C-alpha cells in the first residue's frame, strides 16, 4: 500500500488491453481507486463526470488523440504515456498542460514516482496560490532576533527540533501562545526553516481571515461539484502542506466543527474533502498559534477541550515586548539593519531622545509596533539621528503625543518629503495596518476603513501581483 496513492482516484486511458489491465491492477494494489477505459470518448466522459486526482493518458487512441483530452482535465494532474521516446509529443503535452510524461515501455514501479512528482508540484502550486491570495508582502525588518530575554525560549525551540530528529512517523504539533504582534508567525517560520522539513512546503494560514463559509474548503479542499462554484477538484491547504509544515495562526477563530476536523488530521493524519466520501492520508506538521489563552477558552467552552489538550503538548509562550526591556535597543538595531537595506540608506542610529522614547514606551503592539515605528523613523525622519515623535510615553495615541486631537490619525508634525510620496503605496500601507489592527479579519478591516470588503481584497491581490 502506497500512502501517496491510497484512496486516490486515478483514470487510465490506454488502448493496449494488456498494459491497461496491468496498470489498473498495480494501482489498485497500491491502494488507488482506478477507472480504466480504452477510447477517447470514454476518457472524456470520465474526466467530465468523475472527481479524479490523476489521469494516465495514452497518446494514440482508436477514436482520437490522448493529447486532446488535456482540455477536459480541469484540475486533474495528467501524465501522458508516449511510445518510442516520443520527445516531441512529450514537449507538446507539457505545453498543453500535462503534469508529466512517461516513455513506453516503462516499469510499473516508475508510476508512483511520476505521480509523486506530480503531487508535489501540485502542492507547491497550491501553496504559492495561497501565498499570493493571503500575503500582502513582508517588511524588511521581520527577521527573528534572540536577545538575552529569549534565550530560555530558544533552548525550548532547539529541544523541539532535536526531538523531531528522533521521531519516526508524523511529528507532534507545536502551540505558540503570545499577544498580537509578538512574532508568532516569525517563530513558526524559524521552526520550519531550522527543522528536518525545511526543504518542504511551509503553508501559512491566518484562520481569522478565512471566510466562514469557505474555511472548510480552504483547509481540506473540495471535490468537483461539491457546491455551486466547485467546477473542478481542488486540494486544500492540509494537502498542500503534506510532507511539510502547516501554520494555523489564530486557530481559536475556527468553528467547533472545523476544530474537530483539525483534531482528526493531527491525531490520525486523515482528512476528507468537502463533498468527498473517502479519507485522504496527509502528513503535515501542524504549528498552531493563538493570541488568546486556549486553556481559558476551553474552560469557557468556546474552544474544543480535546483539541486544546492535543495541541498543549509542545507549548511555547512568547513574552510581550514590555517584558523584554533589556533587549529593546538591540532589537531596534536588528530591525533597522534589515530596513536600511530595503530603503537603501547608509546606516541607522538612535538619538538620546530616541533611546529614551523606546525604553519608556509600553509597546502594546509588541514587535510589530516597534518595527513600524523604526520604519516610520527611517522614511520620515533622520535615520542617522532617529527619534520617534509619534510615541507618547504616557500611553496616549500618536496624535495626542504630537499635540493633535485624538480623532486626527495624521501626525501634525509630518511633512511631505521633497521627492513626494507614492499615493498607491500609502493606500496599501493603510490597508495593511487596518488588517493587522483587525487581527486579519477582512470584514472588520473594511469597517475600520469604511470601504467594501471587496476593495480590501482587490488591494491585496493588486499588491501581490506587482
DSSP characters over 202-259: EEEEEGGGS-TTTHHHHHH-B-TTSSTT--S-B--HHHHTTTSEEEEETGGGS-HHHH
Whether pLDDT at 392 is above 70: no
Place of cell 480504466: 36
Mean pLDDT of the chain: 85
Q: Which helix (H) or strand (E) holds 461?
A: helix 453-465
Secondary structure of residue 173 in the 3-state scheme: coil
Q: How many CA atoms lie within 13 A of 75 on its CB side?
A: 22
Place of cell 529614551: 356
- Closest to 310 measured CA to CA, from 237, 261, 271, 257: 261
Residue pLDDT, tens place only, 201-251? 899 999 988 888 889 999 998 888 788 777 777 888 999 899 999 999 999
Q: For residue 142, what pLDDT is reported?
A: 46
Residue pLDDT, tens place only, 328-362? 999 999 999 888 888 888 888 999 999 999 998 88
Q: What domains can be seen in the chain, in order of their start residue?
A: 9-120 (3.40.50.2300), 150-319 (3.40.50.300), 322-465 (1.10.8.60)
Secondary structure of residue 264 in the 3-state scheme: helix
Q: Residues 335, 348: contact at Cβ < 8 Å?
A: no
Whether pLDDT at 395 is above 60: no
Alpha-carbon gap, residue 341 to 458, rounded angstroms: 29
Whether pLDDT at 407 is above 80: no
- Angle among Cα 176, 181, 183 to the nearest 5 degrees reads 50
Count Cβ atoms within 10 A of the Cβ of residue 313 and give its class: 0-12 exposed, 13-18 middle, 19 or more buried.
exposed
Confidence class for position 413, pLDDT limits 50, 70, 90: low
| Mean pLDDT value of segment 284-293 | 93
Give Cα 201 distance to the centre of its chain.
9
- Taking the chain, what is the end-to-end CA distance rounded to the nearest angstrom? 45
| Ranges 155-169, 239-253, 389-403: which has the least confidence | 389-403
Q: For residue 85, what pLDDT is reported?
A: 56
Q: For residue 148, what pLDDT is reported?
A: 87
Amino acid at each position: 500500500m502506497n500512502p501517496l496513492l491510497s484512496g486516490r482516484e486515478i483514470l487510465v486511458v490506454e488502448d493496449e488491453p494488456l498494459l491497461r489491465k496491468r496498470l489498473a491492477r498495480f494501482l489498485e494494489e497500491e491502494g488507488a481507486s482506478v477507472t480504466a477505459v480504452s477510447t477517447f470518448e470514454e476518457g472524456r466522459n470520465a474526466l467530465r463526470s468523475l472527481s479524479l486526482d490523476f489521469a494516465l493518458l495514452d497518446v494514440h487512441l482508436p477514436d482520437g488523440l490522448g493529447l486532446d483530452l488535456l482540455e477536459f482535465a480541469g484540475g486533474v494532474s495528467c501524465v501522458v504515456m508516449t511510445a518510442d521516446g516520443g520527445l516531441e509529443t512529450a514537449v507538446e503535452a507539457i505545453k498543453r498542460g500535462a503534469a508529466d510524461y512517461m516513455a513506453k515501455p516503462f516499469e510499473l514501479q516508475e508510476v508512483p514516482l511520476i505521480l509523486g512528482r506530480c503531487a508535489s508540484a501540485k502542492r507547491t502550486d497550491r501553496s504559492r496560490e495561497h501565498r499570493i491570495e493571503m500575503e500582502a508582502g513582508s517588511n524588511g525588518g521581520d527577521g527573528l532576533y534572540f536577545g538575552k530575554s529569549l534565550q530560555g525560549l530558544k533552548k525550548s525551540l532547539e529541544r523541539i527540533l532535536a526531538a523531531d530528529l528522533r521521531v519516526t512517523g508524523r511529528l507532534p504539533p507545536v502551540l505558540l501562545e503570545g499577544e498580537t504582534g509578538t512574532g508568532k508567525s516569525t517563530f513558526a517560520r524559524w521552526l520550519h526553516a531550522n527543522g528536518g522539513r525545511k526543504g518542504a512546503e511551509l503553508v501559512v494560514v491566518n484562520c481569522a481571515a478565512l471566510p466562514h463559509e469557505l474555511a472548510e474548503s480552504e483547509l481540506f479542499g473540495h471535490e468537483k461539484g461539491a457546491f455551486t462554484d466547485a467546477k473542478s477538484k481542488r486540494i486544500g491547504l492540509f494537502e498542500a502542506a503534506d510532507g511539510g509544515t502547516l501554520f494555523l495562526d489564530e486557530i481559536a477563530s475556527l468553528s467547533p466543527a472545523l476544530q474537530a476536523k483539525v483534531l482528526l488530521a493531527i491525531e490520525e493524519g486523515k482528512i476528507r474533502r468537502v463533498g468527498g466520501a473517502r479519507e485522504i492520508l496527509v502528513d503535515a506538521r501542524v504549528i498552531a498559534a493563538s493570541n488568546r489563552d486556549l486553556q481559558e477558552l476551553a474552560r469557557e467552552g468556546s474552544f474544543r477541550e480535546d483539541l486544546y489538550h492535543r495541541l498543549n503538548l509542545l507549548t511555547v509562550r512568547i513574552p510581550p515586548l514590555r517584558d523584554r526591556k533589556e533587549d529593546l535597543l538591540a532589537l531596534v538595531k536588528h530591525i533597522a539593519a534589515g530596513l536600511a537595506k530595503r530603503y537603501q540608506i547608509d546606516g541607522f542610529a538612535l538619538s538620546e531622545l530616541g533611546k529614551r522614547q523606546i525604553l519608556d514606551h509600553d509597546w502594546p503592539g509588541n514587535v510589530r509596533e516597534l518595527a513600524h515605528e523604526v520604519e516610520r523613523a527611517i522614511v520620515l525622519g533622520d535615520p542617522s539621528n532617529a527619534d520617534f515623535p509619534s510615541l507618547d510615553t504616557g500611553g496616549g495615541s500618536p496624535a495626542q503625543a504630537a499635540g493633535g486631537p485624538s480623532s486626527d490619525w495624521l501626525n501634525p508634525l509630518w511633512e511631505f518629503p521633497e521627492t513626494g510620496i507614492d499615493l498607491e503605496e500609502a493606500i496599501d500601507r493603510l490597508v495593511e495596518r487596518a488588517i493587522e489592527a483587525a487581527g486579519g479579519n477582512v470584514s472588520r478591516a473594511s469597517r475600520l476603513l469604511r470601504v467594501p470588503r471587496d476593495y480590501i481584497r482587490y488591494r491585496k491581490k493588486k499588491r501581490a501581483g506587482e
